[in-house]
């Protein structure tokens, strides 16, 4: 059946009905009403909860730097990068970290400490030190903000607030207690190889210069050291082999570090 005149568009009803059209219209209307009433389409206008982000906090004999924050919603994990300067190694002054969500629920955490870095390679266990740490946190699905109570002896408390809108989203590995120490040790190996490669390149250039200098000697001076050129060429070949092996080692070591490093550790390295 058709309604309208020949010059207008028509709505065609099959067998006198158009159930598909009516059903689609009703569903569209319901979805529209839900969107309007739920405010899902509006930006989050809740107060942004931020305190002591990317800053330095002071406790008795301890300075604490807070760095970057990362979240992995798929794995319900967040992590915070920290760096401590500890002036008194008495453990009774060590910091504890208690983490809560916006409802006041205490969240599971793991504090992963790195190596203690002392000035001038001082091995005295009572000497002050710097130490990087990672605080991993199990988070709820409906994360609004994290409240971190940093507690020292005698219940001295300073708080960190981290809003979900201020956290970088990244894929995060679930790390164990020794992760940061292992990572730092592997990083030291990589940096050592890089240093040795630079030293080897300098040695090669020095040998090449010595070969050039030898070739420029008068024949009578060459006669005083007839094996000089051969020895220098042998040194050059040996150093080239050393460089090649070091570069192969560095390539392997970089893969080890990259496998461990899911997100960069930047706290304390920005200055």
Secondary structure (H, E, C), 66-93: EEEEEEECCCCEEEEEEEEEECCCCHHH
Q: Does residue 34 carry a pLDDT above 80?
A: no
Q: From CA 98, how far away is CA 20, in angstroms rounded?
A: 57
pLDDT at 35: 54
- How confident is the model over 172-197, as a mean pLDDT? 93
% of the chain residues with pLDDT over 70:
80
- How confident is the model over 220-242, as a mean pLDDT? 94
Judgement on whether residues 171 and 69 belong to the same structural domain of the protein: yes
Residue from 131, 106, 102, 135 nearest 118 by CA: 131
Per-residue pLDDT band at 49 (split at 50, 70, 90): confident
Per-residue pLDDT band at 159 (split at 50, 70, 90): very high
| pLDDT top residue among 213 and 91 | 213
Q: Is residue 28 part of a domain?
A: yes
pLDDT at 120: 66
Judgement on whether residues 13 and 65 belong to the same structural domain of the protein: no
pTM over 0.75: no
Judgement on whether residues 35 and 112 belong to the same structural domain of the protein: no
Tokens of 59: 């406790």
Judgement on whether residues 170 and 186 belong to the same structural domain of the protein: no
Locate the DSSP E strands across the chain: 56-59, 62-72, 77-86, 96-100, 109-113, 129-138, 145-152, 156-163, 168-169
Judgement on whether residues 210 and 116 belong to the same structural domain of the protein: no
Q: From CA 190, how far away is CA 6, in angstroms rounded?
A: 82
Mean pLDDT of the chain: 84
- How confident is the model over 14-36, as a mean pLDDT? 63
Instruction: Give tens-digit pLDDT for 167-181.
Output: 889 888 888 899 999
Q: Is residue 111 part of a domain?
A: yes
% of the chain residues with pLDDT over 90:
53
Count: domains in the chain: 3
Q: From CA 73, how far away is CA 113, in angstroms rounded?
A: 24
Q: From CA 143, how far away is CA 15, in angstroms rounded?
A: 53
Q: Does residue 27 carry a pLDDT above 60?
A: yes
By residue range, what is the domain housing residue 251? 182-260
Most confident of 6-10, 153-157, 208-212: 208-212
Tokens of 166: 């201020």
Judgement on whether residues 61 and 162 belong to the same structural domain of the protein: yes
From 161, 177, 193, the end of a domain falls on 177
Per-residue pLDDT band at 261 (split at 50, 70, 90): confident
| DSSP, res 152 | E
From 156, 177, 198, the end of a domain falls on 177
Q: Is residue 248 part of a domain?
A: yes
Q: From CA 231, how far away is CA 242, in angstroms rounded?
A: 16
pLDDT at 3: 41
- The neighbouring-strand residues paired with 161 are 51, 147
């Amino acid at each position: 059946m058709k309604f309208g005149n020949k010059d207008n568009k028509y709505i065609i009803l099959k067998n006198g009905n158009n159930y598909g059209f009516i059903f689609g219209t009703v569903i569209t209307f319901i979805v529209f009403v839900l969107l309007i009433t739920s405010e899902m389409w509006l930006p989050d206008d809740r107060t942004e909860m931020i305190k002591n982000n990317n800053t330095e906090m002071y406790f008795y004999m301890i300075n604490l730097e807070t760095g970057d924050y990362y979240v992995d919603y798929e794995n319900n994990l967040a992590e915070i990068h920290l760096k401590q300067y500890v002036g008194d190694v008495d453990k009774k002054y060590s910091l504890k970290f208690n983490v809560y969500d916006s409802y006041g629920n205490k969240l599971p955490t793991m504090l992963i400490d790195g190596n203690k870095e002392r000035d001038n390679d001082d091995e005295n266990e009572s000497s002050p030190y710097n130490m990087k740490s990672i605080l991993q946190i199990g988070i709820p699905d409906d994360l609004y903000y994290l409240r971190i109570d940093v507690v020292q002896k005698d219940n001295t408390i300073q708080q960190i607030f981290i809003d979900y809108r201020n956290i970088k989203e990244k894929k995060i590995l679930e790390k164990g207690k020794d992760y940061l120490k292992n990572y730092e040790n592997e990083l030291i190996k990589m940096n050592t190889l890089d240093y040795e490669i630079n030293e080897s390149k300098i040695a090669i250039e020095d040998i090449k210069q010595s070969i050039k200098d030898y070739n420029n000697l008068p024949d009578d001076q060459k006669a005083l050291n007839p094996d000089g050129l051969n020895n220098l060429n042998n040194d050059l070949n040996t150093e080239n082999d050393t460089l090649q092996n070091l570069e192969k080692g560095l390539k392997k070591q970089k893969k080890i570090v990259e496998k461990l490093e899911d997100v960069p550790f930047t706290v304390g390295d920005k200055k």
